Amino acid sequence: MQVPVNYLKSIDPESVNIEENYEVRSAIERNFQLAIECAIDIGEIIISKEGFERPEDYRSVFLILGKHDIIPKDFAEKLSAAAGFRNFLVHIYEKIDLDIIEKYLVENLEDFDIFASYIAEYVEKVQK
């Protein structure tokens, strides 16, 4: 099974015209949605386990993790924008700016790996 982030990493925005290739564009959008939702779900599990305040929305999941030093606060701010991107993909899909999708492909994919490393550090700490 290919995970969403691996699929997204396999896309070269320079060689694929996502404006004209509906199938690739749809796959990119869906895989971004899934990747962001996975991060949100992980955050919600940690928040619940730790008894932190309940998030008001998806953006606040990351902000709460930052507030409680699970992830750095500046990184939490950055990821909260990804939650907004997820909402845009899900609810305002007919107006998606392709430049934003390309920007996320080029500039933000590593955020998922960074998030995973912070979560791995958290898991290691709580297992001790």
Q: Does 11 reside within a domain?
A: no
What's the pLDDT at 34? 95
Q: Does 50 reside within a domain?
A: yes
User: Which range of residues forms the domain containing residue 104?
Assistant: 18-127
What's the pLDDT at 90? 85
From its phi and psi, is residue 55 left (phi > 0), alpha (psi between -120 and 50) or beta?
beta
Q: Using the CB atoms, write b or e for 38-70: b if 16+ within 10 Å.
A: bbbebbbebbeeeebeebeebbbbbbbbbebeb
Reported as a single tens digit per residue, the pLDDT across 1-53 is 458 999 999 998 888 888 889 899 999 999 999 999 999 999 999 999 999 99
C-alpha 35/C-alpha 38 separation (Å) is 5
CB 55 within 8 A of CB 39: no
What's the pLDDT at 128? 78
Q: Domain total for the chain?
A: 1
Q: Does 30 reside within a domain?
A: yes
Reported as a single tens digit per residue, the pLDDT across 75-128 is 999 999 999 889 888 887 667 788 888 888 999 999 999 999 999 999 999 997
CA angle 113, 116, 118 (to 5 degrees): 115
Q: Does 42 reside within a domain?
A: yes
Q: Does 1 reside within a domain?
A: no
Q: Does 4 reside within a domain?
A: no
